Amino acid sequence: MENVAEIIRSLTKKHLDKGSIIIGQCLTAVGWVQNTIPDQKKGIVELSMTDTAGAGIAVGAAIGGGRPILVLRFQSLLWLNSSPIVMHAAKCKEIFGYSCPIYVRAIASESDSGQGPIHANTYHSIFAHMPGIVVVCPMTPREFKTVWKKYLNSDDPFLVSEHRSSYRINYEINDIINQNNATTIIAISSARLETLKAIEILKKKKFDVNLINLVWIKPFTLSKSQIDCVKRSKKILIVDNSYEFCGVANTVAQMISRKFKCKTEVLGLREYSPGVAKRFENGTPTANQIIKKLKSF
């Protein structure tokens, strides 16, 4: 099976060959954005080294009738590019009656990758706050294909929270649902990988845990089997790779607790900015941190 990077590159090539464009910085350099950009000139729009102009250009292209892809090589750049996306692309259909189907690839990195306090970590929570935009966190080949298909059949702007750890994944991560289990983990983005490690450790200790893989952040969507699993669960832990305070994990926990009357807890990044030194890292909760949290409630 092709890995996620190959899937993204293939879907992008087909899109560009049909006359669409992809916009961003250093798209054809430094590894072609982790090997996710097709090796061609057609449809590739290289921006000058500005961290703020790309979103406005892409939004303009979408308003003009196109379906542009905007690549933000670090999710920290969401802060600098947010205004055209959430203040126009997300609002224009409701307010002005025309759509702006921009596809934003926002790429997240772990703090242990040497990115330091600026370019590390994930910030999808801030965009989920705004109405009019779809926010998704795919991690597997099938999920990326599904998200892309949904985008092509929609006229809404999409914020795709990509994580670099997904690019080498060439397999599917399926839900783990045990019929008679009292504990469930809902894992988001790269937290799914550490959650799988935690489940393997717990399994050896004869402690079974359900796993729900959350892809659709906004609109918040669970399948029927996932809803049935939540209904049977007495305890639910939502694990995210972004900060807990005012984050997606807390929102999901609140919605589930209110609707299904079950006990919920959240686990995300600790409340400090990561540094470059090893002792200052602040990344996705580890398997051991997940296990410790499960045992604490």
Could you tell me the CATH number of the domain that includes residue 30? 3.40.50.970
Note whether 267 and 289 are within 8 A (CB). yes
- Edge-first strand order for the sheet with 158-163 is 44-46, 22-24, 69-72, 103-108, 158-163, 134-136, 216-218
Domain count of the chain? Answer: 2
Domain boundary among 166, 191, 212: 166
pLDDT at 113: 57
pLDDT at 119: 75
Rounded-to-integer distance, Cα 13 and Cα 35, Å: 12
Note whether 102 and 82 are within 8 A (CB). no
pLDDT at 149: 98
* Rg (alpha carbons) of the chain, rounded to whole number: 19
Cα–Cα distances (Å) from 260 to 178, 182, 235, 277, in that order, read 18, 14, 11, 42
Same domain, 162 and 187: no
Range 205-227 average pLDDT: 94
Q: Is the N-terminal amide bond of 131 cis, ω within 30° of 0?
A: no
pLDDT at 201: 96
Same domain, 266 and 196: yes
**At 237, is the secondary structure helix, strand, or coil?**
strand
Query: Each residue of 83-102: b (16+ CB within 10 Å) or e?
Result: ebbbebbbbbbeeeeebbbb
**Torsion-angle region of 152 (φ positive above 0: left; ψ -120 to 50: alpha; else: beta):** alpha
Same domain, 116 and 49: yes
Same domain, 19 and 153: yes
Is residue 171 a part of any domain in this protein? Answer: no
pLDDT at 112: 63
Domain that holds residue 267: 183-295
φ/ψ of 273, rounded to 5, equals -80, 135
Same domain, 127 and 218: no
Which range, of 86-100, 104-118, 238-252, 253-267, averages the lowest pLDDT? 104-118
Is residue 191 a part of any domain in this protein? Answer: yes
**At 7, is the secondary structure helix, strand, or coil?**
helix
Q: Kindly report the CATH number assigned to the domain that includes residue 274.
A: 3.40.50.920
Same domain, 209 and 134: no
Domain boundary among 131, 166, 201: 166
Angle formed by the axes of helices 141-152 and 4-17, nearest 10°: 30
pLDDT classification of 114: cutoffs 50, 70, 90: low
Is residue 280 a part of any domain in this protein? Answer: yes
Range 204-211 average pLDDT: 90
Q: What confidence tens digit (pLDDT) does each residue in 264-288 have?
A: 999 999 888 887 777 788 889 999 9
- In this prediction the pTM is 0.94
Rounded-to-integer distance, Cα 140 and Cα 125, Å: 20
Average pLDDT of the chain is 92
Is residue 95 a part of any domain in this protein? Answer: yes
pLDDT at 197: 97
Is residue 173 a part of any domain in this protein? Answer: no
Is residue 60 a part of any domain in this protein? Answer: yes
pLDDT classification of 31: cutoffs 50, 70, 90: confident
- The token pair at 200 is 């393997």
Which range, of 47-56, 61-70, 145-154, averages the lowest pLDDT? 47-56
Rounded-to-integer distance, Cα 262 and Cα 80, Å: 38
Nearest residue to 16 via CA among 47, 35, 37: 37
Rounded-to-integer distance, Cα 32 and Cα 12, Å: 12
Same domain, 33 and 140: yes
pLDDT classification of 94: cutoffs 50, 70, 90: very high
Contacts of 161 (CB under 8 A, 6+ apart): 75, 106, 108, 122, 124, 135, 136, 137, 189, 217
